[in-house]
Amino acid sequence: MTTAVWKSALPRLLTVILIALLVGLATGYAAVAIGVALAGTLGLNYYRLHLLEQWLRHRRQLDPPDLSGPWGDVVALIVRIYQRKKYHKKRMLEVVREFRELTSALPDGIVVLTGDRVIQWFNPRAGRMLGLRRKVDFGHRIDNLVRNPDFQNYLDKGDYSYPVVIRKLTSTDVHLSLQMVDYGKGQKLLAVRDVSREILVEAMRKDFVANASHELRSPLTVIVGYVDTLADDPLLDSDVRLALQEMRRQSARMQAVVDDLIELSRLESGASEAPYVFVDVAGLLSLMKRDVLARPQRTCEFIYEEESEEGLLGAESELHSIFSNLIGNAIKYTPAIGGRVIARWWTDATGGHFSVSDSGVGIAPEHIPRLTERFYRVDPGRSRDSGGSGLGLSIVKHALQRHGGTLHIESTEGVGSRFQCDFPESRLARRG
Contact 415, 365 (CB under 8 A): no
Residue after which a domain boundary falls, among 194, 210, 242: 194
Q: Give the integer Cα–Cα distance in Å for 109 and 193.
A: 6
Note whether 292 and 386 are same-domain residues.
Answer: yes
Same domain, 247 and 332: no
Residues 282, 424, single domain; the answer is yes
Could you list the residue range(s) of the whole structural domain that residue 138 is in?
Answer: 106-194
- At 113, give phi and psi (nearest 5°): -125, 155
The answer on 368 and 297 residing in a single domain is: yes
| CATH number of the domain bearing residue 237 | 1.10.287.130
**Looking at residue 424, what is its pLDDT?**
92
- 421 shares its domain with 284: yes
Asked if 122 contacts 112 with a C-beta cutoff of 8 angstroms, the reply is yes
Q: Are residues 378 and 323 in the same domain?
A: yes
One digit per residue, the tens of pLDDT, for the chain of length 432 reads: 455 555 666 677 677 778 777 777 777 777 877 787 778 777 877 787 888 788 888 777 777 777 777 777 777 888 888 888 888 888 888 887 877 777 677 778 889 888 888 998 888 888 888 888 887 888 899 888 888 888 888 888 888 888 888 887 666 678 889 999 888 787 888 999 988 888 887 777 777 777 777 777 778 888 888 788 887 777 777 778 888 888 888 888 787 777 777 777 777 766 678 888 999 998 999 998 888 888 777 778 888 898 888 999 999 989 999 999 999 889 888 888 888 999 999 999 999 999 999 998 888 888 888 888 877 777 655 555 555 567 888 888 988 988 999 999 999 888 899 999 999 999 998 876
Q: How, if at all, do strands 311-313 and 187-194 pair?
A: unpaired
Torsion-angle region of 331 (φ positive above 0: left; ψ -120 to 50: alpha; else: beta): alpha
Cα–Cα distance, 107 to 403 (Å, whole number): 35
Whole-number pLDDT of residue 357: 94
Instruction: Give yes or no: residues 136 and 240 share one domain.
Output: no
Instruction: Tell me how many domains the chain contains.
Output: 4
pLDDT of residue 1: 47
Q: Alpha helix (H) ranges present in 232-300?
A: 238-269, 281-293
Measured CA to CA, the distance from residue 341 to residue 331 in angstroms comes to 7
Which CATH number characterizes residue 330's domain?
3.30.565.10
Distance separating alpha carbons of residues 92 and 165, to the nearest angstrom: 36
The three-state secondary structure class of 310 is coil
Q: How far is CA 68 from CA 9, 19, 48, 55, 226, in A?
A: 10, 21, 10, 15, 113
Same-domain pairing of 415 and 305 = yes
